[in-house]
Amino acid sequence: MAKKQTAAKAGEAGSTEKKVNPALMKPLQPSKELAAVVGSDPLPRPQVVKKLWEYIKKHDLQNPENRREIRSDEKLRGVFGKDKVTMFEMNKYVAQHLK
Protein backbone atom coordinates (compact mmCIF):
# COMPACT_ATOMS: atom_id res chain seq x y z
CA MET A 1 0.00 0.00 0.00
CA ALA A 2 2.88 2.35 0.66
CA LYS A 3 3.99 1.96 -2.97
CA LYS A 4 0.59 3.14 -4.24
CA GLN A 5 0.73 6.24 -2.04
CA THR A 6 4.25 7.01 -3.23
CA ALA A 7 3.20 6.62 -6.87
CA ALA A 8 0.22 8.90 -6.29
CA LYS A 9 2.43 11.57 -4.74
CA ALA A 10 4.91 11.25 -7.60
CA GLY A 11 2.05 11.76 -10.07
CA GLU A 12 1.03 14.93 -8.30
CA ALA A 13 4.55 16.31 -8.32
CA GLY A 14 5.10 15.54 -12.02
CA SER A 15 2.01 17.30 -13.31
CA THR A 16 1.03 16.37 -16.87
CA GLU A 17 -0.03 19.95 -17.70
CA LYS A 18 1.97 21.53 -20.50
CA LYS A 19 3.79 24.69 -19.57
CA VAL A 20 3.16 27.31 -22.24
CA ASN A 21 6.08 29.48 -23.24
CA PRO A 22 4.96 33.05 -22.48
CA ALA A 23 6.74 34.29 -25.60
CA LEU A 24 4.30 32.25 -27.71
CA MET A 25 1.32 33.98 -26.11
CA LYS A 26 2.54 37.52 -26.83
CA PRO A 27 0.16 39.20 -29.30
CA LEU A 28 1.93 40.02 -32.57
CA GLN A 29 0.81 42.42 -35.30
CA PRO A 30 0.23 40.69 -38.66
CA SER A 31 1.43 42.36 -41.85
CA LYS A 32 -1.21 43.67 -44.26
CA GLU A 33 -0.80 40.51 -46.39
CA LEU A 34 -1.36 38.20 -43.43
CA ALA A 35 -4.11 40.46 -42.04
CA ALA A 36 -6.11 39.78 -45.23
CA VAL A 37 -6.35 36.16 -44.04
CA VAL A 38 -6.37 36.30 -40.20
CA GLY A 39 -7.62 39.82 -39.46
CA SER A 40 -5.74 42.98 -38.50
CA ASP A 41 -5.87 42.65 -34.69
CA PRO A 42 -2.69 41.58 -32.85
CA LEU A 43 -2.84 37.84 -32.08
CA PRO A 44 -0.64 35.28 -30.34
CA ARG A 45 1.23 33.03 -32.79
CA PRO A 46 -0.90 29.91 -32.02
CA GLN A 47 -4.08 31.88 -32.82
CA VAL A 48 -2.58 33.08 -36.10
CA VAL A 49 -1.80 29.49 -37.12
CA LYS A 50 -5.29 28.37 -36.04
CA LYS A 51 -6.98 31.07 -38.14
CA LEU A 52 -4.71 30.27 -41.06
CA TRP A 53 -5.75 26.60 -40.93
CA GLU A 54 -9.43 27.63 -40.68
CA TYR A 55 -8.96 29.69 -43.85
CA ILE A 56 -7.12 26.87 -45.65
CA LYS A 57 -9.84 24.34 -44.80
CA LYS A 58 -12.73 26.72 -45.55
CA HIS A 59 -11.34 27.43 -49.03
CA ASP A 60 -10.24 23.81 -49.65
CA LEU A 61 -6.60 24.75 -50.30
CA GLN A 62 -4.97 21.48 -49.26
CA ASN A 63 -3.82 19.36 -52.17
CA PRO A 64 -6.18 16.33 -52.14
CA GLU A 65 -3.39 14.04 -53.36
CA ASN A 66 -0.84 15.27 -50.79
CA ARG A 67 -2.60 16.76 -47.74
CA ARG A 68 0.71 18.17 -46.45
CA GLU A 69 0.81 20.58 -49.38
CA ILE A 70 -1.04 23.91 -49.24
CA ARG A 71 -2.06 25.52 -52.53
CA SER A 72 -2.00 29.33 -52.44
CA ASP A 73 -4.92 31.43 -53.52
CA GLU A 74 -4.50 35.18 -54.14
CA LYS A 75 -4.40 36.06 -50.41
CA LEU A 76 -2.03 33.28 -49.39
CA ARG A 77 0.29 34.01 -52.32
CA GLY A 78 0.93 37.39 -50.66
CA VAL A 79 1.97 35.60 -47.46
CA PHE A 80 3.89 32.64 -48.89
CA GLY A 81 5.24 34.27 -52.05
CA LYS A 82 4.68 31.13 -54.13
CA ASP A 83 1.92 28.88 -55.45
CA LYS A 84 2.34 26.01 -52.98
CA VAL A 85 4.10 25.27 -49.69
CA THR A 86 4.20 22.30 -47.35
CA MET A 87 2.58 22.59 -43.95
CA PHE A 88 6.09 22.38 -42.48
CA GLU A 89 7.29 25.42 -44.48
CA MET A 90 4.21 27.43 -43.62
CA ASN A 91 5.44 28.67 -40.21
CA LYS A 92 8.66 29.99 -41.74
CA TYR A 93 6.67 32.25 -44.07
CA VAL A 94 4.13 33.26 -41.44
CA ALA A 95 6.92 34.32 -39.03
CA GLN A 96 8.12 36.85 -41.61
CA HIS A 97 4.69 38.53 -41.47
CA LEU A 98 4.46 38.94 -37.68
CA LYS A 99 6.01 41.83 -35.74
Q: pLDDT tens across 23-38, in order? A: 778 999 999 999 999 9
Fold assignment, 27-95: MDM2 (1.10.245)
Beta bridge partners of 85: 70
pLDDT at 22: 83
pLDDT at 48: 95
Domains of the chain by residue range:
27-95
Distance CA 39, CA 51 (A): 9
Give the other-Cβ count within 10 Å of 80's Cβ.
21
pLDDT at 93: 94
Under 8 Å between Cβ of 79 and 37: yes
Q: pLDDT tens across 4-13, in order? A: 555 445 445 5
Return per-residue pLDDT of the chain as tens, 99 residues.
555 555 445 445 555 677 878 877 899 999 999 999 999 999 999 999 999 999 999 999 999 999 999 999 999 999 999 999 999 999 999 999 999
